[in-house]
A and B are shown apart, each in its own frame.
Chain A
């Protein structure tokens, strides 16, 4: 079974803190994605990566950065957390390129910024 794990299920941080969200997949997938999910807005793509050290902006990259130093690991960084970044963050991975491949999601990290 494909497994995507995220470092924390729940996280509480203060405004201005630097926040790291880690995601690891164990199926040697090329593509990895970070989304946030908010009520009424659905899943929105923040960043994605199709190879080590490669990254592409998604639909809402402002306030976020990412790092992919190893194929299995994709990190999302909030340089200076703000209250409007309180959300559910979901990581996903998929095999190869193209839009025909299933994305496998991690369990999510619910981040609260106070």
Chain B
């Protein structure tokens, strides 16, 4: 079983739509959580950290459910520029600075 699992997609949505991605992690010792964004043929970049209480950054909302071991990313009012692959990332206690990456969920926003 993969440590971090994501639906690879693609999710094809029209501009203005709301879209949500989920990610599950298998190690209950996971202590910090992130969403990274990777544009086609580019490097990953941090989109947002995910806090236990949930957090919002503009049109993006991230939530963590420790009991069920999943995190989610909600994008409201999708823009064409949101088209990218979204990587779910966790850090496990005792692994120092290592991050474990999911394989990503691809989003394509269309006119």
Contacts of B20 in A (CB 8 A): none
A contacts with B, residue count (CB < 8 A): 26
Partner of B97, one of A44, A97, A105: A97
Range of interface residues on B (Cβ < 8 Å): 20 to 34
Within 8 A of A (CB), among B42-70: 42-46, 49
Contacts of B97 in A (CB 8 A): 31, 33, 48, 50, 94, 96-99, 101
Instruction: Give complex CA distance A58, B102 in Å.
Output: 16
A42 engages B103 (CB within 8 Å): yes
A106 engages B43 (CB within 8 Å): yes
Closest to A45 in B: B98
The secondary structure that dominates the A interface is: loop
A42 engages B102 (CB within 8 Å): yes
Contacts of A94 in B (CB 8 A): 97
Q: Is B72 an interface residue (CB 8 A)?
A: no
Closest to A94 in B: B97
Instruction: Give complex CA distance A38, B102 in Å.
Output: 12
Within 8 A of B (CB), among A77-114: 90, 94, 96-103, 105-108
A99 engages B103 (CB within 8 Å): no
Q: Is A41 an interface residue (CB 8 A)?
A: yes
Contacts of A106 in B (CB 8 A): 43
Within 8 A of A (CB), among B65-111: 87, 91-92, 95-99, 101-104
Known A41-B103, A42-B101, A97-B96; contact A102-B46, beta-carbon cutoff 8 A: yes
Q: Which of A48, A56, A103 has the largest number of chain B CB atoms within 10 A?
A: A103
B residues whose Cβ falls under 8 Å from a Cβ of A: 8, 31-32, 34, 42-46, 49, 87, 91-92, 95-99, 101-104
18 A/B residue pairs, CB under 8 Å, sorted by A: A40-B8, A42-B87, A42-B102, A42-B103, A48-B98, A50-B97, A56-B96, A58-B98, A90-B43, A96-B97, A97-B96, A97-B97, A99-B95, A99-B96, A99-B97, A100-B91, A103-B46, A107-B42
A residues whose Cβ falls under 8 Å from a Cβ of B: 31, 33, 40-45, 48, 50, 56, 58, 90, 94, 96-103, 105-108
